[in-house]
Structure formats: structure tokens, C-alpha cells
Amino acid sequence: MKKLTIRDLDIKNKKVLVRVDFNVPLSSAGEISDDNRIRAALPTIEYIIRENGITILMSHLGKPKGKLDMKYSLKPVAKRLSELINREVLFADDCIGSIVENLIQQAKPGDVVLLENLRFHAEEEKNNPDFAKSLAMLGDLYVNDAFATAHRAHASTEGITKFFKTPVAGFLMEKEIDYLSYVAESPKHPYVAIIGGSKITDKLGVIKNLLPKVDYLLLGGGLIFNFIKAQGYEIGSSIFEPEMLAEAKSLLSEKKIKLPIDIVIADKIDASANTKIVNTNAILLGWSGVDIGPETIKSYSEIIKNAKTIAWAGPIGIFEIDKFANGSKEIGLAVADATSAGATSVVGGGDTGSALKKFGLKNKMSFVSTAGSASLEFLEGKELPGITALKDKV
């Protein structure tokens, strides 16, 4: 999947409208607690500045539900971005209308403008064509660098592209597409996929889409208990989706799928819990599975060691609680070692990215997506409207 990028546009003296994903976490005091998504957009922003374009950035933040709610204002983002690019970011109090248009008219090449939260307007998520047109009028060119929203057909990601001859990808979007396409379409072998997370419903599409392509599919996280139950074993109080039992049973015969040999169980989901390591067929009544055990870590790490391509989506245990985090950490270390030995490792964002950040391993991977849901849908083989709407490279 190849799309035209910002490199393919002549942006000198042009107003470049860029959809970014500045949906960053804010503390109760309204301060940014993680600026990773802002940093991820810097290559595109800095390129426009260097090429003497006028950068007009638009994003959503949180879920204001189509209403003006200042706790979701992008003002703190403008302040942080100013610090990162070492120049004042012009902040617009809205994303459409005459005040915004006047501010942009006064902007000069090299200036950066950030529009207020798109989702203060209900028309954004409804993909309203009039709203999309009002946004489009603000720029000469359109760039989408917000992969994390590419799975949604919103006015700023899909509707707006109809008003531009050549809608293109930014550098982050390009990187996301390249790495995820590599593991989904043209991986080197041996190819190992690691699939975790709490629910099988969230990952079933990814499992089915990757299964024909991988050499091994290692399972962890809460979703394993459907498979253990499908084998007829006790799962205690572990997370379980009864409606998915038949699906899990149908996948048990797949030789590429590897299930844990042993697991850590706890008498409650709490840092003060009592824990035991048991075989997967010996979970105690009233106890919950919270992590993979040492034998599984050893077995999985051996498989990962020989991989040339690794795709990872979903933590292996309840990593937020240190007592239950060892599996995710050890698998992370194994993937980091394989990566340093020459493997390409591509990690879905969301909780997996948070786990790697906690263990200081995020920079040891080839690529960690900025997206959770969008990266999963991409790995499922679904069409993402925000990407489909961009111009193909011929």
C-alpha cells in the first residue's frame, strides 16, 4: 500500500492543512502527561517550516461530544508544541469561521497555526460535508498525519479529502503504513506474532488474518482463558467470554498457535494478592489467571529468539500491577534482543505501547504504533477510510 506523501507536494508559500493526532493525556490540572503524539508529528511540521509553507494543524482531544468543553481545549498542546519547535504557535479559538480565517490570512510562511478541538463541533464525527468544506477552505493543500484516527470516516479525515485534488500522507502516516504493511503483507520468516490483551473479541480478526502468514502465533493475556475453557479445563474466576467459546475451540487445532504451559494465578486482582504458579490445566476455583508463568516465558522466548519478523498486539498479563507484569516484561526483553539481532519488530500502540514504556523497552523495538484501534484494524486487513481517501502512488 503506497500513498503519495507531503514530499510529492510543492508547499512553498502554501497553506498546508494537516490533520494530526494531538489526543494526548491530560492531568486533572490540565497538564500534558505524555507528549509522545505531539513529538510523533514533528517531522511533518518541521518539514513544512523548512519548505516555507504555512502549517495549519487540526486535531481532536478527548470526547467533548460535539459541545464546547474547555477541559478538552488544545491550548495546552499549543504551549507544548511551541516549546518543542522553539517558535510561537498561533492558536485559533475555533476550527472554522471568520476569526480563524483572519488569523490564517495574517500567517506568514514558516508560521504554525493550531486550530481548536475539532470535536467541539458535532459535525466532525458525523462527517458532515458542509463542515468538511469549511475546514478545507482554510488550506491550499491537505496532509493526513493522524494514523490513530484513520479507522474513522470523520470530516477532517475522510470528508475533507473530496475538496483537494491531491490529499497526501504525512511522514508519521507513511511510517505507520510502511511498518504495518510489512508485517501484514511481506514479512521475512521466521515470522512470530504475539497476541495478548484481555478479550478475544478484540483480537479474533487479527488472529485469523495473521494466522496464514505467520510461523508461530503466541497467545497471552486474558484472551487465553477462552482457549483453556475450550479444552475443558477449569479457569476459576479468570476473564471469559462465553459467546466466543466456539471460535476458540475451532482454533485449537491450528498447530501454529501456542498457548501458555503455566500461568500465574491470584486470589484477587490487587497488588496485595496472593499468587501461585500452576499449569494451565490446574487453575484453582475462585482464583484468576493474571500472567504467563516462567516455563511459558522460556518457551516463547526461544521461539522469539529465532524470528526475523515480530508483530505484537496486546500485553501478556495485567502489567499495570507490578506483581503481574513479569510476563509482559520478559517477552518485551526477548523481542528487544531479537530486534538488536536484526529482526523487524512492529508493536501495536495502546496498552502494548504503555507496557513497553513502563519497562523502558519502547525504543528497543523497530516501530511502536501511535495507535491502538487503528493498528488492530489494519492488522485485521480492514480498509481504513482515512488512508483509502489519500492519493495512491502510481
* pLDDT tens digits, 164-174: 999 999 999 99
Query: What are the pLDDT digits (tens) for 175-227?
Result: 999 999 999 999 999 999 999 999 999 999 999 999 999 999 999 999 999 99
Provide the pairing of β-strand 344-347 with 367-368. Answer: parallel
Cell matching residue 56? 495549519
Antiparallel, parallel or unpaired: β 15-19 and 54-58? parallel
User: How confident is residue 12, by pLDDT bands cut at 50, 70 and 90?
Assistant: very high
1 pLDDT more than 90: no
pLDDT at 349 over 90: no
Mean pLDDT of the region 258-270: 97
| Domains of the chain and CATH, by start | 6-171 (3.40.50.1260), 179-380 (3.40.50.1260)
Distance CA 265, CA 248 (A): 21
Q: What is the mean pLDDT of residues 293-320?
A: 97
Helices (H), the chain: 36-40, 42-50, 75-85, 98-106, 122-125, 129-136, 171-185, 200-210, 224-230, 245-251, 294-305, 326-340, 351-358, 373-380, 385-388
Average pLDDT over residues 34-48: 96
Binned at pLDDT 50, 70 and 90, residue 29 comes out as confident
Residues forming beta bridges with residue 19, ordered by sequence position: 58, 144
pTM beyond 0.85, yes or no: yes
Q: How confident is the model at residue 394 (pLDDT cuts 50, 70, 90)?
A: confident
- By the 8 A CB rule, do 112 and 89 touch? yes
**Model pLDDT, residue 298:** 98
Helix (H, G, I), strand (E, B) or coil at 220: coil
pLDDT higher than threshold 90 for residue 28: no
pLDDT tens sequence across 92-106: 999 999 999 999 999
Mean pLDDT of 247-252: 96
- Residues 369, 169: Cα–Cα separation, whole Å: 16
Say if CB 212 and CB 235 are below 8 A apart.
no
Compute the half-sphere exposure of residue 138: CA atoms within 13 Å on the CB side of its CA. 33
Q: What's at 115, amino acid-wise?
A: L
Kindly indicate the confidence band of residue 30, based on its pLDDT and cuts at 50, 70 and 90.
confident
What is the average per-residue pLDDT within 330-335? 98
